[in-house]
């Protein structure tokens, strides 16, 4: 009975916290992007010292840059600057996990999508691939501190069970909010593409230059070849899984290259 009473008191305490009028304890509808760097645990365990060091340093550099972009925007808001987008953007970085959130406002969502895309492209330039989800839901998010809410759980489950490929799946609710962004915010798009399975995902290749796309295609071809050579005999299932994921990225790059060529 004592334990149950303690549990109920804790539940009431959390409920009071989430209903608090304190501006530092806001909890409500947010546009949320949650994603991980794929293969991070394998990278940490790898014995290929130079390759590991280069990728870790590259990841740290890119994440630092992403953090700085968010910080600069927050400082402008704090100083009362005339900030068109990003007023409510919050970000957290923990190991290989990255979380962006903002108020459930269309223009803010467009800005967040653009920042997430930029972060993914920066990591891609280091040979690091991302997978996750973009959702709309309740969240309490303090930068690099407390993160709690249904939106975080939904995003994690989509990343784990649905995304499969190296993509950020976008729910229908989040897609609708993005689509309602104003004309000025839409100039940062296009944001989304529909995959062969009917799911929407964030298109990180749309704004890449042809040179960067060709460079990434060469890197992907190397990853596919390496996987064929190193894993095919020792772990066929793992090798085929990696090839499927890299093959998906390769098809996205080839489509983007085709579209840049036809646009000329």
Verify that 241 and 176 share a domain, yes or no. Answer: no
The boundaries of the domain holding residue 179 are: 22-206
160 and 226: one domain? no
Residues 99 and 120 in one domain: yes
Q: Residues 31, 96: one domain?
A: yes
Neighbours of 235 (CB within 10 A): 12
Q: Is 95 left (phi over 0), alpha (psi -120 to 50) or beta?
A: left
Q: Is residue 212 part of a domain?
A: yes
> Do 126 and 59 meet the contact criterion of CB atoms below 8 Å apart?
yes
Instruction: Indicate whether 191 and 144 sit together in one domain.
Output: yes
Number of domains in the chain: 2
Question: Is 16 inside any structural domain?
Answer: no
What does pLDDT average to over the chain?
84
Per the structure block, which two tokens stand in for 184?
A: 């000025």
Q: Which residues pair with 130 in a beta bridge?
A: 37
How far, in Å, CA of 232 to CA of 230, rounded?
6
Q: 16-48 pLDDT, tens per residue?
A: 555 554 555 567 899 999 999 987 877 777 766
Distinct helix (H) and strand (E) counts, the chain: 9, 8
Q: What is the pLDDT of residues 209-228, one digit of tens each?
A: 999 999 999 999 988 887 77
Residue 3 resides in a domain: no
Indicate if 66 and 126 belong to the same structural domain.
yes
In eight-state DSSP terms, residue 25 is G
d(CA 121, CA 87): 23
DSSP state of 160: I
Q: Do 132 and 163 form a contact (C-beta atoms < 8 A)?
A: yes
- What CATH number does residue 101 fall under? 3.30.70.1230
Sole residue written with tokens 């490929």 = 165
In angstroms, the first-to-last Cα distance of the chain is 73
> Is there a single domain that holds both residue 215 and residue 175?
no
Assign residue 201 a region (left: φ > 0; alpha: ψ between -120 and 50; beta: otherwise).
Answer: beta
| Cis status of the peptide bond prior to 190, with omega within 30 of 0 | yes
Tens of pLDDT along 155-213? 999 999 999 999 999 999 999 999 999 999 999 988 999 999 999 999 999 889 999 99
DSSP-derived pairing of the beta strands 28-37 and 192-194: unpaired
Domain boundary among 174, 190, 206: 206
* Backbone phi and psi for residue 187, each to the nearest 5 degrees, phi listed first: -65, -15
Residues 102-114 have a mean pLDDT of: 95
Q: With respect to residue 240, please indicate whether it lies within any of the assigned structural domains.
A: yes
Angle between helices 172-179 and 106-124 (to 10 degrees): 110
Q: Per the domain annotation, does 17 fall within a domain?
A: no
Domain membership of residue 9 (yes or no) is no
Evaluate if residue 132 carries a pLDDT over 50.
yes
Q: What is the distance between the alpha carbons of residues 242 and 250, in angstroms, rounded to a whole number?
A: 12
Would residue 42 count as lying in a domain?
A: yes
**202 and 258 share a domain?**
no
The pLDDT value recorded for residue 228 is 72
Note whether 125 and 151 are same-domain residues. Answer: yes
111 shares its domain with 226: no
129: left (phi over 0), alpha (psi -120 to 50) or beta: beta
* Residue 177 and residue 231 share a domain: no
pTM metric for this prediction: 0.83
Rounded distance, CA 133 to CA 192, Å?
Answer: 12
In this structure, the answer to whether residues 166 and 135 fall within a common structural domain is yes
């Amino acid at each position: 009975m004592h334990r149950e009473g303690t549990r109920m008191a804790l539940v009431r305490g959390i409920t009071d916290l989430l209903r608090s009028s304190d501006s530092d304890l806001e909890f409500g509808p947010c546009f949320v992007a949650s994603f991980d760097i794929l293969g991070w645990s394998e990278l940490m365990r790898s014995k290929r010292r130079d390759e590991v060091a280069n990728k870790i340093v590259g990841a740290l550099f890119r994440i630092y840059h992403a953090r700085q972009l968010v910080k600069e925007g927050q400082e402008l808001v704090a100083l009362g600057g005339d900030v068109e987008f990003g007023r409510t953007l919050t970000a957290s970085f923990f190991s290989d996990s990255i979380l962006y959130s903002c108020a459930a406002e269309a223009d803010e969502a467009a800005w967040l999508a653009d920042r997430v895309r930029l972060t993914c492209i920066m990591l891609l330039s280091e040979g690091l691939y991302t997978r996750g989800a973009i959702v709309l839901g309740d969240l309490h998010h303090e930068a690099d501190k407390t993160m709690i809410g249904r939106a975080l759980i939904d995003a994690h489950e989509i990343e784990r069970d649905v995304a499969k490929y190296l993509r950020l799946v976008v729910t229908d609710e989040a897609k609708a909010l993005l689509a309602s962004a104003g004309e000025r915010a839409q100039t940062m798009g296009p944001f989304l593409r529909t995959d062969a399975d009917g799911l929407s995902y964030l298109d990180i290749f749309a704004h890449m230059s042809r040179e960067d796309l060709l460079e990434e295609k060469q890197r992907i071809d190397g990853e596919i070849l390496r996987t064929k050579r190193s894993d095919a005999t020792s772990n066929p299932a793992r090798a085929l899984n990696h090839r499927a994921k890299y093959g998906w990225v390769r098809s996205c790059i080839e489509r983007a290259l085709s579209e840049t060529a036809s646009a000329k």
